[in-house]
Structure 1
Amino acid sequence: MRSFDRFAAIDWSGAKGSRHRGITLAMCEAGDAAPRLIEPPNGVWSRTAILNWLRTQAGERLLVGFDFSFAPPFIERRAYLPGEPTPDTARPFWAYVDAACDDDDLGAASFLHSRRGRHFYLGAADGPKADFMHFRRCEAHFNASGGGKPSTVYDAIGAAQVAKASFAGMRLLHQLGRDVPVWPIDPVPPAGALVVEIYTTIAARAAGLRKGISKMRGPAALDAALTHPAIGSRPHDRLDRYDDHATDAILTAAWLRARANDIALWNPTPLKPEIARTEGWTFGVV
């Protein structure tokens, strides 16, 4: 265990292009002040700008959560992309993905499209969707414990898909290198910043939002979640605009602060060393 002074949650995007209104960064300090949104350079965040911002925070006592999958499933089939000669641990796999992509702004759509039907589902022409539904041990455990139906990084179609964002995120993690450790793929460092994977739905459930209704689209709903006893935050400063990206990031940053000292979240029973180095784990799944 170690302590942090600040907590950040980043609502991520795998969309094409280099400016993404879906990317939102919220941050708070230790205590109970509500998280605030961090204004992006030039008005809209890019993935590269998030990478550059994170590099500047490397020496800070900062816990950062990203809402994408840090690796594809490995344990279930003993390979990330069966039949393709990929590395067998997360960090080398990130390098593999990055080297295969020339998309703008750390995008990874080309990686998925060039492998559609073999590894990724992008529509009915690729065959039965059920053939692509493979999950990491973290997702399988979360689902089995009643957490809900998880997404898979092999499903790249539809509003709920996480594939494009996750592979774009893997490119970011590769380019970040060792500047900021990534839990649990790396051990928790004694000082400096640390990156963890988050799932905003976990924060929403902790804040009392019931299953199936996890979005907060107005100030009253956001404050009700922030001031819930499990979150322990003061109400937020009014936003210019309310959307899922902003409210998810604000609430999840406050949830990270509330749970950062929970030993059980850093030591989930199902998390074995092989899972940690190949698939990673979502902070908050126990």
Structure 2
Amino acid sequence: MPRFRHFLAVDWSGAATERPGGIAMALAHAGGGAPVLVDAGRGWSREDVLALLREDLPDDTLVGLDLGISLPFADCGAFFPGWADSPPDAQSLWALIDDICAGDPHLSATSFVDHPELSAYFRRHNGREGALFHAPGAAHRRGRFRVTEERQQLLGCKPYSNFNLVGAAQVGKSSLTGMRVLHRLDGRIPVWPIDRLPATGSAIVEIYTTIPAVAAGRRAGTSKIRSHEELAQALSALGSAAPTGSGSIDDHSADALLSAAWMRIAAGDETLWKPEKIEHVAQTEGWTFGAP
């Protein structure tokens, strides 16, 4: 298992603006100390994050992106069952999204979800639920899940389908815009488990910020942290020092700080790199680091 020297957590946003307020980034070092926010000065754009990953990432960094790195595949045997051009694996999916959205500014993904054929697979605003949003015979009505999202529920999490684009907790837009970034990295950084985990160097994993919160003793339903005092308590539970500050903190920054500290300890847990159900979905659906 590689010994990472840095742990970078990125709380993501799929908002179709140049600098979404929801993007936050925090860095923790293997040697210890409090995680620190990485400040872009004027707020992060998705292009800024892409440039940092391509050009300014410290050596031997484990990067955690709070987004879905793929879409459901195993439940129906395809990302888009019934569509002749449905791609065969996650990397082909990334390329498809980026190609269809080539004209969308700020690495957004509006053209993909409004595609005349692909829109049938998404739940969009104004009650526009596509006829293919649900998997046939599904036991719930929350949309299609990847295997890793089914497994997240064992930790008490309540994941949302990456085909859902509606509501405060939706992750679809974040995931689609994130996949554009992953495609544009052009293989410079391995994305686990779609790529093999390298013996040396940096790697990217998908994270779900509720998992670090649960590891810190918080309930999944009340995982959001909005004060420095709550953050310090959660970081202490993970054996980490806390950054200075008091009073309120935005939940995006808190998520990134807590996740960076959690990744520092979780990366050394060999069982998290070998989850039970990963073998047959690694190249299609990917996985959430920390899901059992």
Please say if residues 58 and 180 of structure 1, whose CA atoms lie closer than 8 Å, have aligned partners that are also in contact: no
Q: Deviations over 1:72-130 (max 9, x none)?
A: 00111111112221211011110011000021111112211225751111142436897
Written as runs of structure 1 = structure 2, the 5 A alignment for 1:113-192 is: 113-115=114-116, 118-122=120-124, 123-126=126-129, 131=134, 133-143=143-153, 145-192=154-201
Unmatched runs of 5 consecutive residues or more in structure 1: none
Give how far 1:171 is off: 0.2
Written as runs of structure 1 = structure 2, the 5 A alignment for 1:23-172 is: 23-40=23-40, 42-57=41-56, 60-84=59-83, 85-101=85-101, 102-115=103-116, 118-122=120-124, 123-126=126-129, 131=134, 133-143=143-153, 145-172=154-181
Return the match for 2:284 from 278, 281, 284: 278
What SS does structure 2 have at the residue aligned with 1:215? coil
What SS does structure 2 have at the residue aligned with 1:277? coil
Return the match for 1:261 from 254, 263, 268: 268
Q: Distance in 2 between matches of 1:31 and 1:152?
A: 37
Moved over 4 A (4+): 127-130
Please say if residues 27 and 250 of structure 1, whose CA atoms lie closer than 8 Å, have aligned partners that are also in contact: yes
TM-score normalised by the chain length of structure 1? 0.93
1:126 partner amino acid: E
Corresponding residue for residue 232 of structure 1: 239
Cα RMSD of the aligned pairs, angstroms, is 1.9
Query: How many residue pairs get matched?
Result: 281
2:177 partner amino acid: A
Please say if residues 86 and 96 of structure 1, whose CA atoms lie closer than 8 Å, have aligned partners that are also in contact: no
Please say if residues 46 and 105 of structure 1, whose CA atoms lie closer than 8 Å, have aligned partners that are also in contact: yes
Q: Distance in 1 between matches of 2:230 and 2:132?
A: 35
1:108 partner amino acid: A
1:136 partner amino acid: R
Q: Distance in 2 between matches of 1:237 and 1:64?
A: 23
Give how far 1:239 is off: 7.2
1:155 partner amino acid: N
Unmatched runs of 5 consecutive residues or more in structure 2: 136-142
Please say if residues 185 and 277 of structure 1, whose CA atoms lie closer than 8 Å, have aligned partners that are also in contact: yes
1:258 partner amino acid: I
Q: Distance in 2 between matches of 1:134 and 1:244?
A: 27
Q: Deviations over 1:29-71 (max 9, x none)?
A: 113311101111x511000000000112457110000010000
Q: Deviations over 1:224-280 (max 9, x none)?
A: 00011xx110121227961110000000000000111100000111111x3000000
Corresponding residue for residue 138 of structure 2: none
Identity %: 42
Please say if residues 213 and 223 of structure 2, whose CA atoms lie closer than 8 Å, have aligned partners that are also in contact: yes
TM-score normalised by the chain length of structure 2? 0.91
Change (3 A) 1:121 1:29: same
Give how far 1:207 is off: 0.5
Q: Distance in 1 between matches of 2:17 and 2:128?
A: 26
